[in-house]
C-alpha cells in the first residue's frame, strides 16, 4: 500500500497545469482499495450484483427524503419500502455481536402474547410508567406503585382493549409516532425513558416460562432476518416462578444454553449463540468483584456458552472502567481467561473520565469495543484497536436514537469504514428503537455511513468480519465461514439476474 501511495505521490510532484486524469483515477482507485471490502476479490456474479446494487443506491440517494439523514423513527417506513432494504434482509449477514437480552423481540409480541397470559398483574407508577408481575397470590405493593391489577380482569371490563394495549406498548419501547425531537429533546430525557422502558419490560421477561419463550422468539426473529449467529449481552437475572421462588444465575445461563440447543436442533442452518455476562456500571467495587468471581465460575462451568464479560448502562452517568480496575484485573492475576467485550466510547463527553474508557478498555485487554463512537478522537486507541484486531461494534440506529449523531452520514464510523478498520455492524436494542433483527442497521451502515462508495464487497466484508471477530474458536470460525459462504453464494446467484 505505502509503495503504491509513494508512486502516486511521486507522479503528483511532476504535475503541471491541468492534473493528469490517469493520476486522478489512480488516486480514486487507491482510496477505494483502502475501504472495508476494498481488497476483496469478487466473482463475476458478485460483480453483476454490484452493478444492480449501485443503481439501487443511486436511486436511493436521489430521493427527496434520504432515510439515513432522518431520525430513524421517521425513516423506518421509508426504509421498509426501499429495495436495498429488502435485499439486505435476504442477505446472509453472519453474526450479530452486540445485542442486549431484553430488547431482542419486538414489543407487539410482548403485548399480544405475554400480557395476555394468565396471572399477569400490572401496576401504574406515580411517574407515568408501568410494572408487571406474574403471580399466583397477587404481588406486594412497590414503593412507587401501590395497587396491582390483574390484567385479565381489567381487560374483561373493557369493550375494546386496543387503547390499553397501545398504551402498554408505548411503555415498552422508545419508538413513538410523535416528533422524536420533541419527545426526546436531550440525551438525559431519552436515557431516562430508556431506563423506564427497561423496568417496564423486566417483570414480563424474567418470569421463567416467558424467559424461555422470549429468548426462543428472539432467536427466531434474528434467524428470519438471515442472521446465523448471535452474541447476546445478558444480565443473567434471577428468573422467578409463579409462586415467587427464584432461580440463580447458573440456572439462567443453563436455560440460555438449552434453548439455544433446542433452537439449533429445529434450525440446522443456525450456527448458535453465546452469552456475554453483563453487570450494570452503577454498582460499587465490591459488587463488581463478586460479579467477576461469579463470571469466572460460570465460565468454567459453561465454557461453550459463556463468551465473556461486559458492563452496561449509560457510560456518561455510570462509573468509568478505571474505577473497577481491581475487580477487572482479577482474572489476569489468577491466570484465568475471561474475555472482555467492553462498551467504551459511547459518549460525546470529550476528555472526561468516561471518555477515557476507550484506552482503559484496551489496557484491560478487551476483545472488542462496544460502540467506540469516540474512537476517531483517540489516535492511540484507534491504532491499538487496528493493530490488535480489536473490532468496533458499530450500532448506527442506537447511536442516532440515543442522540450521539443526527445525520448518519456524519457517524464517525464512516471514517473507520473508509480505511477498513476492523468493524462489525450490530443492532444493540432493536425492540426499543422500533427496529428488528439486524437489517435496519445494515441499511444505515451501507447507505448512510458507506455512502455511494460502499459496495457488495463492503457488505461481504462486514458479514465475514462478524464471524472473524466473534468469540468462536478458530475451528468454529472456519466452520461458520463455510456455512456462511454456501448461503452467500446462493444469495448472490438468486439475486444477480432479477430486475
Ligand atoms: C405465545 O408464544 C408461545 C411461544 O412461542 C406460543 O406457544 C403460544 O401459542 C403463543 N400464544 C399466543 C396467545 O400467541
Ligand atoms: C377498538 O378501538 C380501536 C381504536 O380505539 C379501533 O380502531 C378498533 O376498530 C376497535 N375495535 C373494535 C372491535 O371495536
Ligand atoms: C404508560 O402507561 C400509562 C398508563 O396507561 C400511560 O398513562 C402513559 O402515558 C404510558 N407511557 C407512555 C410513554 O406512553
Ligand atoms: C456496595 O453496594 C451494595 C449493594 O448496593 C451494598 O450492600 C454495599 O454496602 C456497598 N458496599 C460499599 C463498600 O459501599
Ligand atoms: C487477552 O485476551 C485474550 C483473549 O481473551 C487472551 O487470549 C490473552 O491471554 C489476554 N492477554 C492478557 C495479557 O491477559
Ligand atoms: Zn449496548
- Domains of the chain with CATH codes: 87-106+204-490 (3.20.20.140), 108-191 (no CATH)
The protein residue with its alpha carbon nearest to ligand 2, atom 7, reads: 162
Question: Whole-angstrom Cα distance, residue 78 to residue 299?
Answer: 44
Contacts of 237 (CB under 8 A, 6+ apart): 202, 206, 252
Question: Whole-angstrom Cα distance, residue 227 to residue 182?
Answer: 34
Q: In what order do the strands lie in the sheet with 95-100?
A: 95-100, 229-234, 272-280, 306-312
Question: Whole-angstrom Cα distance, residue 60 to residue 56?
Answer: 6
CB distance 94 to 484 below 8 Å: yes
- Residue 207: closest CA among 164, 146, 255: 255
pLDDT score for 1? 47
> Is 280 one of the catalytic residues?
no
The protein residue with its alpha carbon nearest to ligand 4, atom 5, reads: 283
Residues with CB under 6 A from ligand 3: 124, 128, 130, 167, 170-171
The ligand minimizing its distance to the Cα of 176 is 3
- Residue 306: closest CA among 333, 341, 280, 344: 341
For the stretch 133-148, what's the b/e string if a residue is b when 16 or more beta carbons lie within 10 angstroms of its beta carbon? bbbeeebeeeeebeeb
The ligand minimizing its distance to the Cα of 291 is 4
pLDDT score for 306? 98
Radius of gyration of the chain (CA): 24
The ligand minimizing its distance to the Cα of 164 is 3
> Is 419 one of the catalytic residues?
no
The protein residue with its alpha carbon nearest to ligand 1, atom 3, reads: 213
Handedness of CA 47, 49, 52, 56 (dihedral sign): negative
The ligand 4 atom nearest the CA atom of 283 = 2
pLDDT score for 346? 85
- Digitized pLDDT (tens) for each residue of the chain, 499 residues in all: 444 666 566 656 555 688 899 999 999 999 999 999 999 999 999 999 999 999 999 999 998 899 999 999 999 999 999 999 999 999 999 999 999 999 999 999 999 999 999 999 999 998 889 999 999 988 888 888 889 999 999 999 999 999 999 999 999 999 999 999 999 999 999 999 999 999 999 999 999 999 999 999 999 999 999 999 999 999 999 999 999 999 999 999 999 999 999 999 999 999 999 999 999 999 999 999 999 999 999 999 999 999 999 999 887 778 999 999 999 999 999 999 999 999 998 887 777 777 789 999 999 999 999 999 999 999 999 999 999 999 999 999 999 999 999 999 999 999 999 999 999 999 999 999 999 999 999 999 999 999 999 999 999 999 999 999 999 999 999 999 999 999 999 999 999 976 5
CA of 171 to the centre of ligand 3 (A): 6
Residue 199 burial (C-beta neighbours within 10 Å; 0-12, 13-18, 19+) = middle
| Residue 171, CA distances (Å) to 19, 130, 161, 210, 234 in order | 60, 7, 16, 18, 21
83-90 and 474-495 are packed helices; what angle lies between their axes, rounded to 10 degrees?
140
Dihedral class, residue 337 (left if φ above 0, else alpha if ψ from -120 to 50, else beta):
beta
Question: Whole-angstrom Cα distance, residue 232 to residue 408?
Answer: 25
Residues with CB under 6 A from ligand 4: 284, 286-287
Question: Whole-angstrom Cα distance, residue 283 to residue 51?
Answer: 52
Question: Whole-angstrom Cα distance, residue 140 to residue 123?
Answer: 11
Count how many Cα atoms sit within 13 Å of the Cα of residue 236 in the half-sphere of its side chain: 26
CA of 283 to the centre of ligand 4 (A): 8
159 lines ligand 2 (CB under 6 A): no
For the stretch 448-486, what's the b/e string if a residue is b when 16 or more beta carbons lie within 10 angstroms of its beta carbon? bbbbebbbbbbbbbbbbbbbbbbbbeeebbeebbebbee
Dihedral class, residue 423 (left if φ above 0, else alpha if ψ from -120 to 50, else beta):
beta
pLDDT score for 9? 60
Residue 291 burial (C-beta neighbours within 10 Å; 0-12, 13-18, 19+) = buried
CA of 312 to the centre of ligand 6 (A): 7
163 lines ligand 2 (CB under 6 A): yes
The protein residue with its alpha carbon nearest to ligand 3, atom 8, reads: 128
Catalytic residue, chosen from 71, 371, 411, 421, is: 371
Catalytic residue, chosen from 231, 315, 346, 444, is: 346
Residues with CB under 6 A from ligand 5: 332, 337, 339, 365, 367
pLDDT score for 371? 97
pLDDT in tens, 190-247: 999 999 999 999 999 999 999 999 999 999 999 999 999 999 999 999 999 999 999 9
pLDDT score for 69? 96
CA of 256 to the centre of ligand 4 (A): 29
The ligand 5 atom nearest the CA atom of 308 = 5
* DSSP class of 6: H
pLDDT in tens, 18-36: 889 999 999 999 999 999 9
Q: Which residues surround ligand 6, an ion (CB under 5 A)?
A: 428
Amino acid at each position: 500500500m505505502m509503495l503504491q501511495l509513494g508512486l502516486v505521490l511521486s507522479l503528483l510532484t511532476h504535475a503541471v497545469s491541468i492534473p493528469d486524469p490517469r493520476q486522478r483515477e489512480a488516486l480514486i482507485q487507491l482510496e477505494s482499495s483502502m475501504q472495508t471490502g476494498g481488497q476483496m476479490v469478487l466473482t463475476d456474479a458478485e460483480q453483476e450484483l454490484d452493478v444492480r446494487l449501485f443503481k439501487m443506491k443511486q436511486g436511493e440517494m436521489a430521493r427527496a427524503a434520504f432515510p439515513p439523514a432522518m431520525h430513524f423513527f421517521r425513516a423506518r417506513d421509508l426504509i421498509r419500502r426501499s429495495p436495498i432494504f429488502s435485499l439486505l434482509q435476504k442477505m446472509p449477514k453472519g453474526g450479530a455481536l452486540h445485542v442486549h437480552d431484553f430488547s431482542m423481540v419486538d414489543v407487539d409480541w410482548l403485548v399480544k402474547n405475554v400480557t395476555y397470559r394468565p396471572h399477569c398483574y400490572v401496576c401504574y407508577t406515580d411517574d407515568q410508567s408501568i410494572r408487571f408481575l406474574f403471580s399466583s397470590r397477587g404481588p406486594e405493593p412497590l414503593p412507587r406503585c401501590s395497587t396491582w391489577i390483574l390484567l385479565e380482569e381489567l381487560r374483561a371490563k373493557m369493550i375494546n382493549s386496543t387503547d390499553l394495549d397501545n398504551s402498554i406498548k408505548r411503555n415498552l419501547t422508545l419508538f413513538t409516532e410523535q416528533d422524536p425531537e420533541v419527545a426526546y429533546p436531550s440525551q438525559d430525557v431519552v436515557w431516562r425513558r430508556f431506563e423506564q422502558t427497561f423496568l417496564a419490560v423486566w417483570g414480563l421477561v424474567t418470569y421463567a416460562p416467558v424467559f424461555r419463550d422470549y429468548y426462543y422468539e428472539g432467536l427466531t426473529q434474528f434467524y428470519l432476518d438471515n442472521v446465523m449467529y448471535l452474541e447476546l449481552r445478558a444480565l443473567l437475572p434471577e428468573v422467578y416462578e409463579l409462586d415467587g421462588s427464584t432461580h440463580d444465575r447458573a440456572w439462567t445461563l443453563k436455560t440460555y444454553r438449552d434453548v439455544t440447543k433446542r433452537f439449533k436442533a429445529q434450525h440446522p442452518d443456525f450456527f448458535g449463540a453465546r452469552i456475554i455476562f453483563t453487570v450494570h456500571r452503577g454498582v460499587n467495587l465490591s459488587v463488581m468483584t463478586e460479579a467477576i468471581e461469579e463470571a469466572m465460575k460460570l465460565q468454567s462451568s459453561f465454557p461453550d456458552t459463556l463468551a465473556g464479560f461486559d458492563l452496561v448502562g449509560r457510560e456518561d452517568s455510570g462509573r468509568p472502567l478505571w474505577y473497577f480496575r481491581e475487580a477487572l484485573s482479577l482474572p489476569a492475576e489468577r491466570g484465568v481467561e475471561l474475555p472482555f467485550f467492553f462498551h467504551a466510547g459511547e459518549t460525546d463527553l470529550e476528555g472526561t473520565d468516561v471518555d477515557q474508557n476507550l484506552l482503559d478498555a484496551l489496557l484491560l485487554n478487551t476483545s472488542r469495543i462496544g460502540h467506540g463512537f469516540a474512537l476517531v478522537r483517540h489516535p492511540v486507541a484507534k491504532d491499538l484497536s487496528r493493530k490488535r484486531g480489536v473490532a468496533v461494534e458499530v450500532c448506527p440506529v442506537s447511536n442516532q436514537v440515543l442522540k450521539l449523531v443526527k445525520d448518519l452520514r456524519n457517524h464517525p464510523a464512516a471514517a473507520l469504514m473508509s480505511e477498513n478498520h476492523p468493524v462489525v455492524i450490530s443492532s444493540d436494542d432493536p425492540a426499543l428503537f422500533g427496529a428488528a433483527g439486524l437489517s435496519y442497521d445494515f441499511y444505515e451502515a451501507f447507505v448512510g455511513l458507506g455512502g455511494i462508495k460502499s459496495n457488495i464487497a463492503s457488505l461481504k466484508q462486514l458479514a465475514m468480519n462478524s464471524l472473524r471477530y466473534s468469540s468462536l474458536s478458530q475451528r468454529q470460525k472456519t466452520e461458520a465461514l463455510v456455512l456462511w459462504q454456501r448461503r452467500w453464494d446462493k444469495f448472490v446467484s438468486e439475486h444477480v439476474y432479477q430486475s
